[in-house]
C-alpha cells in the first residue's frame, strides 16, 4: 500500500516493529539517540532484516525498511508514527517531528505510560488539534533482538491490548489503521480515554511501591543481603499496605475527575488488585488479597529485586527502571493530577520523596510538585498545567451527556 509509517527507537521493540511492518508498508526507522541510526544502517547494510516469530505458522519474516535515519523531516510524509521506545525518550520525538507533521497523522505510542497525551499535546502546540494520539497500555509483544540491527525474535504476542484515542472523534479511523498494521493479534480493545490508560498504569504503583516496601527508610537497615529477595512473590504485609495506599489514592483521583467531567469513564483505571484479577486469571492460587495475588502468581516465579553485587553480598539497584522510569513517567502523573485536584496523597508522597533521591531528581519540595526537574516527568505541572480547567483542555476531554 501507499501507507508510510515511521517507527521510532532502536532497541528491542523498535527493531521488531520495523521488521514486522516493512513487509507490507513503506516503513522508515527513526532514531534520534546518539549515532544509533547510522550504526543500524551500517549493521544492516544491503541485507534484509530477519524477524522470527516463535510459535507462529509462518515464523520467519524477512523485510527491508525503506530507510533508517535521524532526520526528523521524514515526518512530513508519515501517515502513522509508532513510538516503540522507553517513555523518557517520547518527548524528543514529538518535539522534533512537530514542525513537519501533516494534519491527521496518527501517533501510536507503545507503551504510553502515563500522561503521554498531555506531553504530546503540549509539544504539538497549535498543531495539536489536527493530530491523533493513540496510547497503548503496553507493548503488544515480548521481544528481543538477537543480532543487533539485523535479527530479532517475537517471544510472545498478547491476545488483546487496550488503547485510547485522543481526540475521541478520530477513534474509528485510528484504531482501524493501527489494527491493520498489527495484523490479527493483538486485538486492540478500545479504552474510553487516555486519562484511563494513564491512571491504569500498573507499573507506576507496583514497581515504586514494592521497591519502597523493601528498601525504603521504614523497612531496610541499609545492609547487603545474602540473596536477591523475590520481587512480587516477596511482597510482605508492610509492602501491601504501601501498594493499597497508593492504589486507593489513585482511585480517589479517578472518582473526582469523573465527577468533574460529565460522561468521563475511567473504568480501565481499576485498582491494582482488579488489574491482577483481569490480567492473570487462573495463574494465582490465592486471590483473596492483593498480597495473595502477587505472592501466588505463577507468572512471577523466580523474579527477584534488581540488585548489584554478587551472591552473599547484594545491594539493591535503586536506579533501575522500576524507579528511574516508573516514577517520572508514571507515578508523577498521578501525583500531579492529585495536586491539581487538591487531593492529599500521603502514601504516594512518601514513595516519591524517597525515590527522587534514589534517581537523582528533584520532583517534590516540601510536599509540593515544584522541584526543578518537574519538566523531566509526566506531571502535568511539568508542562505548566496547574488547574483542572487547563488539564481538561489539554487532554481534550469532551464532556458528554
Which residues are the active-site residues? 207
The smaller minimum CB distance to ligand NAD, of residues 1 and 159, is found at 159
Using CB atoms within 10 A of its CB, is residue 262 exposed (0-12), middle (13-18) or buried (19+)?
exposed
131 vs 310: CA distance, rounded Å: 49
> For the chain, how far is it from start to end, CA to CA, in angstroms?
40
Among 5, 6, 11, 300, the residue binding ligand NAD under the rule CB under 6 A is 11
- Binding segment toward ligand NAD, per CB under 6 A, in 31-39, 171-179, 245-253, 382-390: 31-39
335 vs 45: CA distance, rounded Å: 46
The smaller minimum CB distance to ligand NAD, of residues 33 and 100, is found at 33
316 counts as binding ligand NAD under rule CB under 6 A: no
The smaller minimum CB distance to ligand NAD, of residues 112 and 364, is found at 112
> What letter does residue 328 receive in the DSSP assignment?
I
For cell 522508515, name the residue: 28
327 counts as binding ligand NAD under rule CB under 6 A: no
28 vs 66: CA distance, rounded Å: 5
140 counts as binding ligand NAD under rule CB under 6 A: no
Residues 284/290/292/294 CA torsion (nearest 10 deg): 60
Strands of the 160-166 sheet, one edge to the other: 67-69, 26-30, 4-8, 80-83, 106-109, 132-136, 160-166, 187-190
Among 86, 168, 229, 292, the residue binding ligand NAD under the rule CB under 6 A is 86
Residue 81 and residue 97 in contact, taking contact as beta carbons nearer than 8 Å: yes
Cβ 368 to ligand NAD, closest distance in Å? 28
Cβ 169 to ligand NAD, closest distance in Å? 28
201 counts as binding ligand NAD under rule CB under 6 A: no
Cβ 207 to ligand NAD, closest distance in Å? 10
- Binding segment toward ligand NAD, per CB under 6 A, in 78-86, 116-124, 253-261, 278-286: 78-86
381 counts as binding ligand NAD under rule CB under 6 A: no
298 vs 337: CA distance, rounded Å: 34
**What would the grid cell of residue 255 be?**
472518582
The smaller minimum CB distance to ligand NAD, of residues 196 and 330, is found at 330
Q: Which residues bind ligand NAD (CB under 6 A)?
A: 9-14, 31, 33, 36, 84-87, 89, 111, 138-139, 142-143
Amino acid at each position: 500500500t501507499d501507507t508510510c509509517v515511521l517507527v521510532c527507537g532502536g532497541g528491542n521493540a523498535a527493531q521488531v516493529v520495523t521488521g514486522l511492518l516493512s513487509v507490507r508498508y513503506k516503513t522508515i526507522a527513526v532514531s534520534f539517540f546518539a549515532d544509533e541510526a547510522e550504526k543500524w544502517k551500517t549493521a544492516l547494510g544491503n541485507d534484509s532484516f530477519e524477524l522470527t516469530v516463535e510459535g507462529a505458522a509462518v515464523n520467519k519474516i524477512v523485510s527491508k525498511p525503506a530507510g533508517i535515519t535521524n532526520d526528523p523531516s521524514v515526518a512530513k510524509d508519515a501517515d502513522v508514527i509508532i513510538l516503540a521506545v522507553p517513555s523518557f525518550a517520547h518527548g524528543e520525538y514529538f518535539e522534533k517531528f512537530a514542525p513537519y507533521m501533516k494534519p491527521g497523522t496518527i501517533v501510536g505510542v507503545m507503551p504510553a505510560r502515563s500522561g503521554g497525551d498531555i506531553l504530546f499535546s503540549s509539544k504539538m502546540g497549535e498543531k495539536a488539534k489536527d493530530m491523533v494520539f493513540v496510547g497503548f497500555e503496553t507493548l503488544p509483544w515480548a521481544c528481543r533482538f538477537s543480532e543487533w540491527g539485523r535479527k530479532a525474535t517475537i517471544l510472545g504476542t498478547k491476545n488483546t491490548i487496550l488503547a485510547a484515542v485522543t481526540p475521541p472523534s478520530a477513534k474509528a479511523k485510528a484504531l482501524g489503521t493501527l489494527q491493520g498494521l498489527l495484523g490479527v493479534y493483538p486485538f486492540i480493545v478500545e479504552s474510553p480515554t487516555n486519562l484511563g490508560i494513564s491512571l491504569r498504569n500498573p507499573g507506576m504503583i507496583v514497581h515504586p511501591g514494592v521497591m519502597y516496601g523493601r528498601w525504603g527508610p521504614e523497612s531496610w537497615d541499609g545492609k547487603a543481603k545474602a540473596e536477591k529477595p523475590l520481587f512480587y512473590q516477596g511482597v510482605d504485609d508492610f509492602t501491601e499496605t504501601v501498594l493499597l495506599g497508593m492504589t486507593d489514592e489513585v482511585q480517589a483521583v479517578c472518582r473526582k475527575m469523573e465527577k468533574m467531567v460529565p460522561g468521563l469513564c475511567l473504568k480501565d483505571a481499576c485498582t491494582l488488585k482488579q488489574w491482577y484479577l483481569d490480567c492473570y486469571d487462573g495463574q494465582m492460587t490465592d486471590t483473596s488479597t492483593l498480597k495473595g495475588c502477587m505472592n501466588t502468581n505463577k507468572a512471577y516465579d523466580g523474579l527477584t529485586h534488581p540488585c548489584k553485587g554478587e551472591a552473599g553480598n547484594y545491594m539493591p539497584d535503586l536506579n533501575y527502571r522500576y524507579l528511574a522510569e516508573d516514577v517520572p513517567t508514571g507515578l508523577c502523573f498521578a501525583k500531579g493530577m492529585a495536586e491539581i485536584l487538591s487531593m492529599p496523597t500521603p502514601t504516594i508522597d512518601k514513595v516519591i520523596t524517597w525515590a527522587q533521591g534514589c534517581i537523582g531528581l528533584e520532583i517534590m519540595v516540601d510536599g509540593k510538585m515544584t522541584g526543578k526537574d518537574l519538566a523531566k516527568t509526566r506531571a502535568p505541572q511539568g508542562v505548566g498545567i496547574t488547574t483542572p480547567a487547563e488539564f481538561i483542555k489539554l487532554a481534550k476531554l469532551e464532556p458528554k451527556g
